[in-house]
């Protein structure tokens, strides 16, 4: 009953408020949905203590029979293990705080019942995803968060930019979801099941797997004797040539053996993760999602939508570990995304967009860890990131609330003494995001423990792209520090750049908005110190209890604590360098960034326009699609179908009737003449018919 309450209380809140919100009123709607989420969050922490910190092994909670069709069986049931309960506390804790915060932030919105109903629906969909015990249920939650994000990003649907952003998020995610569902089909084809336990058991004996250079202890099905061994250039491994005897799948006209088929399936699943978790090149929807209300941004970026891809790869780690190629691709994409998003964040002026690109970059860190096989570090960073990213987004909402809905940091400044509590909460979030801490000690913020662990794991990783990933992550850490402190300095320090009227009305947020910030600040400071021993430290094995693939992580864990001191110092030095440059640019010499932007205008425009990804996609996809659509509309539908179909037939009928009606002149002699012609024709016909 515990887990049914955790999952279904948000759904119950959505149904009550969604159906009867107008009758209940805004206040009752807020209290019902928020109250249910608080209960669900408290129960989630109890489940975490019981399962994660206790001795409870993995188990399932049946709900109902879902799909039974031939060999396809997908029941609705909850998979409860350490990974699940970690995600439960992340999703429900952040969502509960966002609900409470929204009571103050959305106070003047006339459609609050609809907003709170959507928030609860979003939470329920994510809970369905993280508790799934089969890929069909996971896909249900996967599409559910996509729907809810569309509704929330476009909540202010009368605002054209919000509607456009919602459509963009929905369409871009459909691209990724196409890969996910193909991957789902591929898993069923290879293993004959979509149930996770069955898939993992079959994957262990599916093929000989070289795990990071060491042979797996699992035995594998023999390859066809006729297959000749060929060298794998990427890893130096020996692979069997694809023959008709060992072909298990044909994809895009190419015959694939077990190794190739599994790699394709993993890459298709990763394609889905790229869309949900905003990895290059399917990242373009994430910054535009800022058009929704700020609490929505916090929920999407900290606990729900963007974490879905990271969770999915971690959940399917026993599958991905059998494809070195897929893991290498994950590492490459993650490292490029971390670097790319950090460069774009350097020059953004919208306070929410800076934090949005920060999310994109931090997700890149998580995917690098996943690609290295360091799954526990990826989930640890997801866990800590939820606290400080929600803190930063809700803190930015408090700033926007204070300055009359202004989001341009160039029109802020001098707010430190006017909204001091918000200022210090933003400082704590920034310290956690930039990973402030003392290297080689246990003193530091949440980001210090999780982000540095990923960087050190990349240094000792056996992945072919590990060295490049390590370098890109360190550079991204420097950029992260710069744009994070740039946000603080431009927003809170210096002289006020807002109008006198705006500055006159600057005020601190009410307690209902500040209390969630205080709670998140505690997590941003203490989450790393309290939980690092469980996620990536001494109690690692006892904590995860097999819910993640542990062999690769064990190898990295044995080495990353003993990396050279310069490796441990590198993220600290990068963080310090970013802070010092930001301080120089925006406190000591505010004209320097203006001068540099003018001197390097091409580079500045390149970064300001986000590497021109949107313009490129507009040229390659949007405009051609619009031209094709216009052609099919005007020529295909209008000219051909309508012209020769309904409109054409009706036009011919009108033409004929217009000509026939001219025979009706109204003159008697015309009618007499026609009658005479008719009589003559009849006589002629009768004569011909009688044989004359």
pLDDT tens digit sequence for 448-490: 999 999 999 999 888 888 999 999 999 999 999 999 999 999 9
The pLDDT value given to residue 227? 33
The pLDDT value given to residue 462? 82
Residues 213 and 553: beta-carbon distance below 8 Å: no
**DSSP run (H or E) holding 78:** strand 72-80
Closest CA relative to residue 183, chosen from 77, 261, 70: 261
Which residues in the chain show pLDDT less than 50? 209-238
The pLDDT value given to residue 252? 84
Closest CA relative to residue 286, chosen from 265, 270, 268, 308: 308
The pLDDT value given to residue 212? 39
**DSSP run (H or E) holding 538:** none
Closest CA relative to residue 133, chosen from 87, 57, 197, 186: 197
Residues 154 and 167: beta-carbon distance below 8 Å: yes
Q: How far is CA 379 from CA 94, 196, 307, in A?
A: 16, 19, 9
pTM for the full predicted model? 0.88
Residues 344 and 612: beta-carbon distance below 8 Å: no
The pLDDT value given to residue 519? 96
Residues 524 and 432: beta-carbon distance below 8 Å: yes
Residue 570: exposed, middle, or buried by beta-carbon count in 10 A (0-12, 13-18, 19+)? buried
Tokens matching residue 304: 């729900």
CA distance 297 to 291: 9
Tokens matching residue 111: 């459609």
The pLDDT value given to residue 231? 38
Residues 350 and 395: beta-carbon distance below 8 Å: no
The pLDDT value given to residue 138? 94
The pLDDT value given to residue 248? 75
């Amino acid at each position: 009953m515990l887990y049914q309450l955790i999952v279904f209380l948000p759904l119950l809140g959505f149904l009550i408020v969604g159906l009867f919100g107008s009758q209940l009123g805004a206040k009752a709607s807020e209290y019902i949905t928020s109250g249910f989420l608080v209960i669900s969050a408290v129960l989630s922490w109890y489940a975490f203590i019981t399962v994660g910190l206790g001795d409870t092994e993995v188990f399932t909670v049946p709900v109902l029979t879902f799909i039974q069709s031939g060999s396809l069986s997908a029941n609705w049931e909850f998979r409860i293990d350490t990974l699940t309960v970690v995600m439960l506390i992340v999703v429900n804790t952040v969502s509960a705080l966002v609900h409470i915060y929204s009571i103050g932030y959305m106070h003047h919105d006339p459609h609050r019942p609809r907003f709170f109903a959507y928030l609860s629906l979003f939470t329920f969909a994510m809970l369905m995803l993280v508790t799934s015990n089969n890929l069909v249920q996971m896909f249900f939650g996967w599409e559910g968060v996509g729907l809810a994000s569309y509704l929330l990003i476009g909540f202010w649907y009368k605002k054209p930019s919000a509607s456009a952003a919602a459509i963009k998020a929905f369409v871009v995610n459909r691209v990724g979801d196409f890969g996910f569902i193909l991957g789902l089909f591929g898993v069923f084809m290879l293993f004959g099941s979509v149930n996770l336990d069955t898939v993992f058991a079959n994957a262990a004996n599916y093929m000989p797997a070289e795990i990071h250079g060491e042979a797996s202890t699992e035995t594998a099905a023999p390859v066809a004797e006729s297959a000749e061994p060929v060298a794998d250039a990427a890893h130096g491994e020996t692979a069997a040539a694809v023959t008709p005897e060992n072909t298990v799948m044909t994809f895009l006209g190419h015959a694939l053996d077990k190794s190739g088929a599994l790699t394709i399936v993993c890459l298709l699943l990763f394609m889905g993760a790229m869309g949900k978790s905003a990895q290059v090149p399917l990242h373009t929807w994430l910054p535009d999602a800022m058009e929704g209300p700020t609490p929505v941004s916090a929920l999407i970026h900290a606990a729900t939508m963007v974490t879905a891809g990271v969770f999915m790869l971690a959940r399917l780690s026993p599958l991905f570990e059998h494809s070195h190629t897929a893991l290498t691709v994950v590492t490459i994409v993650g490292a490029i995304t971390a670097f790319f998003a950090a460069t774009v964040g350097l020059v953004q002026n919208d306070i929410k967009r800076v934090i949005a690109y920060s999310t994109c970059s931090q997700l890149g860190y998580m995917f690098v860890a996943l690609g290295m096989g360091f799954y526990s570090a990826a989930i640890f960073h997801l866990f800590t990131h939820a606290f400080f990213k929600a803190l930063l987004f809700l803190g930015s909402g408090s700033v926007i609330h204070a300055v009359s809905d202004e989001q341009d940091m160039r029109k802020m400044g001098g707010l430190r003494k006017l909204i001091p509590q918000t200022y210090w909460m933003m400082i704590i979030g920034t310290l956690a995001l930039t990973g402030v801490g003392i290297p080689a000690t246990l003193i530091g913020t949440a980001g210090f423990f999780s982000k540095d662990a990923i960087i050190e794991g990349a240094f000792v990783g056996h992945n072919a792209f590990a060295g490049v990933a390590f370098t890109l992550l360190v550079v991204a850490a420097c950029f992260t520090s710069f744009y994070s402190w740039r946000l603080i300095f431009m927003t809170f320090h210096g002289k006020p750049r807002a109008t006198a009227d705006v500055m006159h009305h600057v005020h601190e947020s009410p307690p209902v908005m500040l209390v969630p910030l205080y709670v998140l600040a505690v997590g941003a400071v203490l989450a790393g110190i309290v939980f690092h021993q469980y996620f990536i430290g001494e109690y690692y094995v006892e904590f995860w209890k097999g819910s993640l693939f542990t062999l690769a992580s064990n190898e990295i864990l044995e080495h990353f604590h003993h990396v050279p001191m310069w490796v441990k110092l590198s993220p600290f030095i990068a963080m310090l360098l970013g802070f010092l440059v930001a301080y120089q640019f925006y406190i000591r010499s505010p004209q320097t960034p203006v001068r540099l932007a003018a001197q390097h205008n091409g580079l500045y425009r390149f970064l300001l326009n986000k590497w021109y990804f949107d313009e490129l996609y507009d040229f390659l996809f949007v405009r051609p699609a619009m031209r094709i659509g216009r052609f099919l509309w005007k020529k295909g539908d209008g000219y051909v179908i309508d012209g020769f179909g309904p409109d054409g037939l009706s036009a011919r009928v009108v033409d004929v009737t217009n000509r026939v009606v001219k025979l009706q002149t109204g003159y008697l002699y015309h009618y007499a003449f026609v009658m005479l012609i008719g009589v003559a024709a009849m006589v002629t016909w009768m004569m011909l018919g009688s044989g004359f």
